[in-house]
A and B are shown apart, each in its own frame.
Chain A
Amino acid sequence: MGDERRGIPTRAPAINPDSEPFWAATADGRLTLQRCAACGAVVWWPKAICPACQSFDLAWFDATGRGTVYSYTVVHRAPGSWGRAAPYVLAYVELEEGPRLMTNIVDSDPDAVTIDAPVRVVWHDTGEGNALPRFTLAD
């Protein structure tokens, strides 16, 4: 639904049992991560097993939604609807909790994005009961 309004494709995610709790929380505007009860590692992306210690005892918690830009690119050429949305910013955001997640930087001048810039999460409703976590430059 958000495509035309926001100018950037907002497709519903493919969901599996590992990722279902993550996407369910996005309906409430909550960015959630898993923490391993055995070793304390924060896990990204959602898994049934902790890749650090192989425990299956993982618990969800709310992230702050704040982080910094680890790397980014301003995309000028892309196929299909992404090409029509260009230029757009693809980025890895490093969350305060540690994980670096792939996302877009939106509602910001692409030329203003820099590595290490502080960002905060914004939500783009997919129209299918969940929302995509994107980020914008923090004030």
Chain B
Amino acid sequence: MSIRGRAFIAGIHEHPGRHLPDESLMEIHARCCVGALADAGLSMGDVDAFVSAGDAPGFGTLSMLDYLGIRASWIDSTEMGGSSYLAHVNHAAAAIAAGKCRVALVSLAGKPRTGGAQPGGSARASGPESGFESLWGAGVPANYAMAARRHMHEFGTTSEQLAEIKVAASVHAQHNPHAFLRDVVTVDEVLESPMIADPLHRLDCCVITDGGGAVVVVHPEVAADLDRHCVPILGAGEANKGTANGRIDLTHTGAVWSGPAAFAEAGVTPADIDYVSIYDSFTITVLQTLEDLGFCEKGKGGEFVLDGRLQAPHGGLPFNTDGGGLCNNHPGNRGGMTKILEAVRQLRGEANAPVQVPDCELALAHGTGGSLSARMGSATLILGRSL
């Protein structure tokens, strides 16, 4: 059984805020959910399935359902870090295809900009690996820096090449009125920004923002009754990559497995894709993922991103036209949701006009959750303008 064409994204919403000290985590979730349902032309009473991840406070998904006033008949709380939401769309589509539900709501919210305790943190600290990874000052940028360093060592990738990825994101973000960072930056400005964890500079890192987003996934019959442009889900893949019993390879991501599964289900190839949303926690995340998804040969990502290839509307492979996590938004330190949202905007022709990809028929959205230097979830979605 395949999910191809058997579920549609009918509604999306991205919270316009980037610093929300006065909204509760649950209010942010609620505003995103209501916004996505309104976008679809649906209401909370239509929802019979709900998905949230580790960013849901309290009793997680059960607290969310209680807060929102939903009684669901299909519930999923899959936690794969920032990649969760792409996996959620896959799971919701499969459930819809299996006849388990008809209208599934997927929600994300987070407040790392405001700060304070975030849901899920204490549980992770008790992991079996924690005694071997938590004692060394291995913050998130440092983790990704080790992957970047190894990639440079094996393939000759340079800081200038990584910087091109940030430049492209900033070129796009200038057109997004909600973007956290809207100034266009140059390669030199990236290289001159403070070193955080060598070889990653401050401008190689994503922003830290409050905010959230939501997606409504529906049965084809529901989609047919809506006035809104519903985007068919054509294929999806998921994978995990870990420390491999001490033989961890820092030069690739789980996209080497989730990508081919998604392409196979959709019946398309990388050459067919018009637009990509690529998880961009750091510039190196994008570079490795583009290679792993097959947009270029392994190790050639540094050359691939040159000459404005990632820049919309006329680059060979426009990416993250909302400005991505590098410039626009990384709500809850979980960038997977916004990857879906911008892919849907592109397919609907509703991206910001200067970065709208002409005749965008096929889009890919990819999430990476966890760490490039420890364990990660990978999830890939392929979406179409129409079936």
Contacts and interface: CB of A to CB of B under 8 A. Distances in A.
Interface in B124-159: 125-126, 128-139, 141-142, 145-150, 153
Contact of A78 (B135, B137, B146): B137
A17 B199 CA distance: 37
Given A99-B247, A115-B150, A90 B138 contact: yes
A15 B243 CA distance: 19
A74 B250 CA distance: 17
B139 A71 contact: no
A43 B153 CA distance: 26
B145 A18 contact: no
A88 to B, nearest CB: 6
A89 to B, nearest CB: 9
B126 A73 contact: no
Interface residues of A, number: 44
B197 A75 contact: yes
Contacts of A55: none
A78 B142 contact: yes
Contact of A92 (B128, B130, B197, B250): B250
Contact of B248 (A85, A100, A115): A100
Nearest to A80: B137
A100 B132 CA distance: 11
A43 B128 contact: no
**Which of B126, B142, B196, B373 is packed against the most chain A CB atoms within 10 Å?**
B142
B146 A51 contact: no
B194 interface: yes
Given A71-B147, A75-B137, A75-B139, A52 B197 contact: no
A123 interface: no
A6 to B, nearest CB: 13
A60 interface: no
A44 interface: yes
Given A44-B246, A45-B128, A77 B194 contact: yes
Contacts of B130: 14
Given A71-B150, A91-B146, A92-B373, A14 B126 contact: yes
Interface string A32-71: 0000000001111111000110000000000000000011
B136 to A, nearest CB: 5
Contacts of B142: 73, 75, 78, 90
Given A43-B246, A102-B132, A104-B137, A73 B153 contact: no
Nearest to B149: A71
A73 B136 contact: no
A132 interface: yes
Nearest to A51: B245
B198 interface: yes
A13 B135 contact: yes
Given A18-B128, A43-B245, A70-B150, A102 B197 contact: no
A74 B137 CA distance: 11
Contacts of B141: 75, 77
B128 A9 contact: no
Contact of B138 (A42, A51, A85, A102): A102
B197 A73 contact: yes
Contact of A73 (B125, B145, B247): B145
A76 B196 contact: yes
A75 B246 CA distance: 23
B253 to A, nearest CB: 15
B226 interface: no
28 contacts: A9-B137, A14-B126, A15-B131, A19-B132, A44-B245, A45-B129, A45-B131, A45-B243, A71-B373, A73-B142, A73-B145, A73-B148, A73-B149, A75-B142, A76-B195, A77-B195, A82-B137, A85-B137, A90-B142, A91-B146, A92-B146, A100-B247, A101-B132, A102-B133, A102-B136, A103-B136, A115-B150, A115-B153
Given A44-B243, A45-B246, 10 more contacts: A11-B135, A41-B245, A44-B246, A71-B147, A92-B373, A98-B246, A100-B248, A101-B246, A102-B133, A102-B373
